[in-house]
Every structure is written in C-alpha cells, then in structure tokens.
C-alpha cells in the first residue's frame, strides 16, 4: 500500500469521525431547543389517547426525568449521552416506555437496509448500464425508447410513484400485496414460503424507489460515456482490434463510472429521505415508518435515535464509496 493511499485513508477516516461527532452533537442539541417538556408531552398524549383519566403529569414526568438523568445540567447530559452511545444505548421511548430506542431501531433497521440497498443498487446498475448502452454506437432501440419514460418517472417523487404503483399492481391487478412487510396471517418462520412472502412485499416499495432513480443514472452515465468514447484510448483499443464488448466494459464503462460513484454517494441521502414516505405508504416496518410516527407523537428520543442511525449509516456508506475509489481509479492509489 502506497503512502499516498494510506494518507487518503486516514484523511477519509478523520472526515468520517468528524461527521459523526458533529451529527451526534447536533442531534443532542436540537430536541432540547424545542419548546415544552417532551416527557410531559408524551405522557399527556398517552393520557389523551387512553382513558382520559386524571394523571399527575408533572410528578410522573419528574420521576422519569430523574430516572434518566434529564434533570441534570446540560453538560452532564451531553457527556452521559456520549457514554451511552458507546454502549449502544439511545435511551428510551417515552411514548412506548420502557422500550429502548435501540430495540426499536434494531428491529426496523434491517427492513430499511434491505429495501434501500436493493433499490439503490438495482437502480444504479440498471440505470448506468442503460445510459452506457445509449451512448454506445448502435445502442438498442428498446433502450432508446425506455429512457424518456424513465426520465419522466425520475421527475415524480417516490411517494407519488408509490401511490400509483399500489393502485395499479395491488388494487387493480392484485398481483402484489399492497402493504406491510409480510402477510398479516403469515407465521414468521425461517422457511422458503416466508422468504418469498417477505420479498413479494418488498417488490412495490423497492420499485417505487428504483424506478424513480433509473432515469437519473441513465442520463448521467450517457453523458459520461459520450465523452469517454471520444478519448484516444478508445480509438487505440479499436485500432488494436479488441472486441466491442471488451472496449465497452473495460475501457468505456470503467472510465465513465467514476463520476457516477460520486453521484451515488451524494444521492444516498435523497434516497433515504424519500424512502421514509414510501415506507409509510406501504406500511413497511422500517425506519421511515418508525420516524414518521415518532415525529407525529413527539417522541424525541426515538426521532433522535433514528436520525442518528441514518446519519451514521449514510456517513459510513459514503466512506465505503470513498474506499471503492482507489480500486476504480489507479491515480488515487499512487
């Protein structure tokens, strides 16, 4: 490993750490700037939703605040917050007391990761390939016909696309389930039927996110490919008599790919925020649904936990993308 590569890695690691420290600190401060006492508010909501019975909200709130150190000075709370984070403790949900936020996030995270990973990689791979083929001399008619449609889809917000897809594929055609992570009566077992059911329920949410992005990736890749195809090394490869397939993949796509990777890193946050509403529409049991209800219920500690996990996940994803760079571009390794 060259010195420059080591320096590159250290620089990126430092950036990752800095992003996480800032995110954690902002995440700590913002809920505390909001008006009112979140604990008392959560308790009052419970009271309003249930019996309408009298409750000494101030006494219960004071007891919870003392139990969880929320009555301590802000600086102490900040240190405790960091210390809790190192133990993967994100606090408790006051709307669902005594449930730990870590438990709630832990249950929702795999659903979102599975959905977003599949949707992002699918749209990225399909869109980039379509874009490359579009720029390639003699690119297929089918692709030329498809790309404008994909561009239209990319102008539609994910959640709107989700509603349209539910209507067509779940309500009218009834090919796919309309909502949820599994059938309501499905017994969750580690078996083939459950696996297929989980995937069937993921198809529409996944396509809502993926279809809206394919056009974006296709257009980006096409413009990169067009400029790459004019490069001398492509002419040289052709002059050497290399096969068109080899030129397409090894010389064309590989060189046109770098800006796409950068765009992928930048686009991840948009995908994550768009997916929140998609999950709500599909009643999909991921972080988006959790965040939506936590915001509506003013459950600050859940909001804080979900946002933190999203920020850290995005930062790590971008870090991984950064690590892929040297593999694709030898100039960075030098």
Partner 1 sequence: MNRSSLKVSLRAGIAALALVPMAGAAFAQDIADVPREQTLVLTPWGDQPAQFSNVDNWNTYLSSIPKQRDVMQITINEMLFYTNLNTGELIPWQAETYALADDFMSSTITLRDGVTWSDGTPFTSADVKFTLEALRDAPPEIRGAASFNEWVASVDAPDPLTVVINHPKPAPRFVEKFLALGHENHYPILPKHVWEGQDIAEFTNFDPEAGLPMGTGSYRLVSSTTQQMIFDRRDDWWGVTTGFQDAPAPARIVLTPVSSDEAMGQLHIANQVDGGRQLQIGTFEAARFQNPNLASWNAEGPEWGAPDGCVYTLVFNNMVEPYNDPNLRHAVNHAFNRAALAEIAYEGAMPTAKFAFSGYMAEKWAAEGSPLATVLGEAGVDNPSQDLVDERMAAAGFERNADGFWAKDGEVLDFLVRTPAFIQPLLAPMTQQLRNAGFDARQGAVDDTWLPDLLAGNFGTMTFVHCGSLSEPLDTLKDYHSKFAREIGTNIPYSLAGTRYMNPEMDEIIDRLEVITADTDPDSAYMKDIQAAMEIFLRDMPQIHLIEEFHVVTFNNTYWTGWPSAEDPYVAPYTPWEAFNLVVHNLQPAQ
Q: Please give the structure tokens belonging to residue 85.
A: 């984070």
Q: Whose Cβ is closer to partner 1: residue 47's or residue 262's? A: 47
Cβ(301)–Cβ(101) below 8 Å: yes
To partner 1, the closest distance from the beta carbon of 114 in angstroms equals 3
To partner 1, the closest distance from the beta carbon of 18 in angstroms equals 30
Q: Whose Cβ is closer to partner 1: residue 292's or residue 325's? A: 292
What is d(CA 266, CA 271) in angstroms, rounded to the nearest whole number?
Answer: 10
Cβ(314)–Cβ(16) below 8 Å: no
How does DSSP assign 148-204, residue by residue?
A: HHHHHHHTS-HHHHHHHHIIIIIIIS--S--SSSS-TT----SSHHHHHHHHHHHHH
To partner 1, the closest distance from the beta carbon of 264 in angstroms equals 19
Cβ(116)–Cβ(210) below 8 Å: no
**Residues in contact with 20: Cβ distance below 8 Å, sequence separation at least 6, in sequence order:** 311, 312, 315
Rounded to 10 degrees, what is the CA torsion of 88, 91, 96, 99?
Answer: 40
To partner 1, the closest distance from the beta carbon of 140 in angstroms equals 25
What is d(CA 29, CA 55) in angstroms, rounded to the nearest whole number?
Answer: 29
Q: Whose Cβ is closer to partner 1: residue 123's or residue 298's? A: 298
Rounded to 10 degrees, what is the CA torsion of 118, 121, 126, 131?
Answer: 150
Q: Whose Cβ is closer to partner 1: residue 21's or residue 121's? A: 121
To partner 1, the closest distance from the beta carbon of 324 in angstroms equals 20
Q: Whose Cβ is closer to partner 1: residue 85's or residue 170's? A: 170
Q: Whose Cβ is closer to partner 1: residue 58's or residue 238's? A: 58
Cβ(231)–Cβ(239) below 8 Å: no
To partner 1, the closest distance from the beta carbon of 91 in angstroms equals 14
Q: Whose Cβ is closer to partner 1: residue 94's or residue 248's? A: 94
To partner 1, the closest distance from the beta carbon of 143 in angstroms equals 25
To partner 1, the closest distance from the beta carbon of 111 in angstroms equals 4
Q: Is 58 helix (H, G, I), strand (E, B) or coil?
A: helix
To partner 1, the closest distance from the beta carbon of 145 in angstroms equals 29
8-state DSSP, 92: B
Is it true that the peptide bond before 67 is cis, omega within 30 degrees of 0? no
Q: Please give the structure tokens belonging to residue 189.
A: 């077992």
Alpha helices in 34-157 (DSSP H): 38-49, 57-67, 74-86, 101-135, 141-154
**Residues in contact with 270: Cβ distance below 8 Å, sequence separation at least 6, in sequence order:** none
Q: Whose Cβ is closer to partner 1: residue 189's or residue 331's? A: 189
Q: Whose Cβ is closer to partner 1: residue 59's or residue 152's? A: 59
């Amino acid at each position: 490993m060259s010195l420059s590569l080591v320096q590159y890695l250290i620089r990126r690691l430092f950036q990752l750490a800095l992003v996480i420290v800032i995110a954690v600190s902002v995440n700590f401060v913002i809920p505390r700037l909001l008006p009112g006492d979140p604990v008392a508010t959560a308790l009052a909501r419970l009271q309003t939703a249930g019996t309408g019975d009298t409750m000494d909200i101030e006494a219960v709130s004071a007891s919870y605040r003392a139990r969880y150190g929320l009555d301590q000075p802000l600086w102490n709370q900040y240190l405790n917050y960091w210390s809790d984070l190192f133990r993967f403790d994100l606090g408790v949900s006051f709307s669902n007391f005594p449930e730990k936020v870590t438990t709630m996030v832990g249950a929702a995270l795999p659903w979102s990761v599975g959905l977003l990973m599949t949707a992002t990689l699918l749209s990225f791979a399909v869109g980039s390939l379509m874009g490359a083929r579009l720029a390639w001399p003699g690119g297929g008619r089918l692709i030329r016909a498809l790309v404008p449609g994909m561009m239209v889809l990319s102008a539609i917000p994910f959640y709107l696309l989700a509603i349209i897809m539910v209507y067509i594929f779940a309500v009218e055609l009834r090919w796919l389930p309309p909502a949820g992570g599994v059938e309501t009566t499905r017994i969750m077992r580690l078996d083939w039927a459950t696996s297929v059911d989980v995937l069937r329920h993921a198809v529409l949410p996944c396509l809502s996110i993926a279809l809206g992005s394919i056009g974006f990736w296709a257009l980006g890749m096409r413009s990169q490919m067009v400029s790459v195809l004019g490069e001398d090394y492509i002419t040289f490869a052709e002059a050497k008599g290399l096969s068109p397939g080899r030129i397409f993949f090894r010389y064309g796509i590989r060189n046109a790919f770098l800006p796409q990777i950068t765009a992928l890193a930048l686009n991840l946050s948009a995908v994550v925020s768009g997916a929140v509403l998609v999950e709500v529409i599909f009643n999909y049991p991921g972080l988006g649904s959790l965040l939506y209800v936590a915001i509506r219920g003013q459950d600050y500690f859940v909001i804080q936990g979900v946002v933190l996990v999203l920020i850290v996940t995005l930062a790590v994803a971008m870090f991984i993308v950064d690590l892929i760079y040297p593999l694709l571009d030898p100039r960075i390794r030098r």
